[in-house]
Amino acid sequence: MIPASVRFDQSTLTTLLDIDPLVQEYRAFFSLFDWSVVDHWLARRSKCCGSHGHPLTAYLKAFLLRIKEGLLYAKQLRDFLCRHPLLIIELGFHLQLDPSADYGFDVERTLPTRYWFGEKLRQLDHTLLTDLLAATVAALKQEIPGLGEVVAFDVKHIYAWVKENNWRAYVGERYDKTRIPVGDPDCKLGVKRSTNQEQDDGSTQEKKELLWGYGSGVAAATTPDYGDVVLAEKTLPFNEGDVTYFRPLYQQSVMALEQFPTHITADAAYDAWYVYDTVARRGGMAAVPLNARSTTTFDPDGTPLCPIGLRMQPTFHYAHPNGYRARRYRCPLLVPHATGGTCDHEQFRKGKGCHKEINDEPGGRTRLLMDRASPLYKAIYTQRTSCERINSQAKELGIEHPRVHNGRSVANLNTLIYLVINVRALLRVKSINRGLLQIR
């Protein structure tokens, strides 16, 4: 709605909106979002509850503006909007009309309070934000041929806004995981970094860097010409392992792309059979470093070798408690029948012989037999840096130190940050494509 005042009539205010640089910047920015996603969400919700107050899109646009302008606190957002009344009109807040005011409405009475801005951020349905992110992926896919053929995965640490993370504040038992921080009851204690330090006597001692907070998992894709985009994201408490993020991120990526990625890549924290399995069944590669947990060696066909280098004998399959199909291999000197050969291994002297339990799923086999020195592996693994660049952009937008006090607000802020990153990418991609289509 365009108001009118004793100073400006509606036509004048319309002209001011059309020429104001900040309004024009955000009008172009918001035009790249698929707001029909919000309409569909509201249509489903209207069956069980009514709507009141300002439009949901006005809040969403305000929160996106908060991210883009680097405003850490709800009060800073409110103060910024108070200084730019034309933006309040453009965002779509319901105006409290006052013809005596310069712009025809009372700014203070129109805007929600600082508290309600924070509360509304907490109350946002995260599914709605995820759907908006998926819509940006769909828009990017239309512009970028082959987007998502290779998907990279990573996790970014986030410091909770609690005094336990502030070294200037005295805290008794700072890293006692049983003591819930008052500043954010949803955050958890986790290990940011673990290193081995050499001691004076030549031994090594593990040193862990701990923090209270969250992890932001991200799935990203990159192309040489267009740069990096976010395909999916997931926020969890920081005590969750990196590989925990994989399945929800992979599922979101497939849904957003409407196709399965050909290859995936991640660091050694994602070295799990089911990570490889997602692409191995379709002939793809999961370029993930091997986090060796055993010294078993294999023949090229995948048959394990016993400690003295003999091919072990396969016996039977069974369902492993960890959810995969496994196969047991036995000592070739005893199975299927004794050959008369001897071995000095302790298990052979006991009469049982060695045995190995091998994951017989395609992902389990691929994990052990993949050629990690091949050119294809190296080319795919190089694309893992797309996540690092996305994390760097997210850090610049404030993801590392959110100024909110609960997990829902942290998760919503994270998704809003990735929305800003993707829309910036969409602006860049459209500009590149326009340049390619120009007649020279």
Strand 150-159 and strand 188-198: the pairing is unpaired
152 and 119 in a common domain: no
Same domain for 249 and 180: yes
What pLDDT band is residue 341 in, cutting at 50, 70 and 90?
A: confident
Q: Answer for the pair 315, 335: CB distance below 8 angstroms, yes or no.
A: yes
- pLDDT band with cut points at 50, 70 and 90 for residue 172: confident
Asked if pLDDT for residue 253 goes beyond 50, the answer is yes
Dihedral angle sign, alpha carbons of residues 249, 251, 253, 256: negative
The reply to whether 345 falls in a domain is: yes
pLDDT class for 50, splitting at 50, 70, 90? very low
Note whether 190 and 100 are same-domain residues.
no
Give residues with Cβ within 8 angstroms of 255, minimum separation 6.
134
Secondary structure of residue 40 in the 3-state scheme: helix
Distances (CA, A) of 143 to 20, 125, 146, 176, 432: 29, 28, 10, 49, 10
| Tens digit of each residue's pLDDT (9 = 90 or more) over 269-283 | 999 999 999 999 999
Identify whether 178 is part of a domain.
yes
Closest listed residue to residue 417, CA positions, set 436, 435, 438, 392 = 392
Distance between CA atoms of 361 and 324, rounded to whole angstroms?
A: 7
Contacts (Cβ under 8 Å, ≥6 apart) of 426: 32, 136, 139, 140, 143
Bridge partners of 326, per DSSP, are 318, 359
**Which of 46-55, 149-158, 339-348: highest mean pLDDT?**
149-158
pLDDT at position 4 is: 84
Average pLDDT score over residue span 68-83: 96
Kindly state whether residues 237 and 357 are assigned to the same domain.
no
Number of domains in the chain: 3
d(C-alpha 126, C-alpha 300), whole Å: 47
Over 80: is that where the pLDDT of 194 sits? no
How far apart, in whole angstroms, are the C-alpha atoms of residue 277 and residue 320?
A: 16
Same domain, 42 and 79: yes
Tell whether 199 and 339 lie within a shared domain: no
Find out whether 329 and 356 touch, Cβ atoms under 8 Å: yes
Q: Looking at residue 42, what DSSP letter applies?
A: H
pLDDT score, position 296: 82
How would residue 340 be classed by pLDDT, with cut points 50, 70 and 90? confident
pLDDT at 167: 87
Bridge-based pairing of strands 263-265 and 286-287 is parallel
Structural domain boundaries, residue 53: 10-123
Digit-coded pLDDT (tens) for 300-314? 888 999 988 899 999
**pLDDT grade, residue 47 (50/70/90)?**
low
Q: Is residue 392 part of a domain?
A: yes
| Sheet of 325-330, strands arranged across | 313-319, 325-330, 355-359
> pLDDT grade, residue 201 (50/70/90)?
low
Report whether pLDDT(51) > 60: no
DSSP 66-98: HHHTT--SHHHHHHHHHH-HHHHHHHTPPP-B-
Does 344 score more than 80 pLDDT? yes
- Is there a single domain that holds both residue 199 and residue 343? no
Whether residues 172 and 94 share a domain: the answer is no
pLDDT at residue 48 tops 60: no
Q: Please say if the pLDDT value at position 66 is more than 70.
A: yes
Average pLDDT for 46-70: 84
Mean pLDDT, the chain, as a whole number?
A: 91
The amino acid occupying position 242 is: D
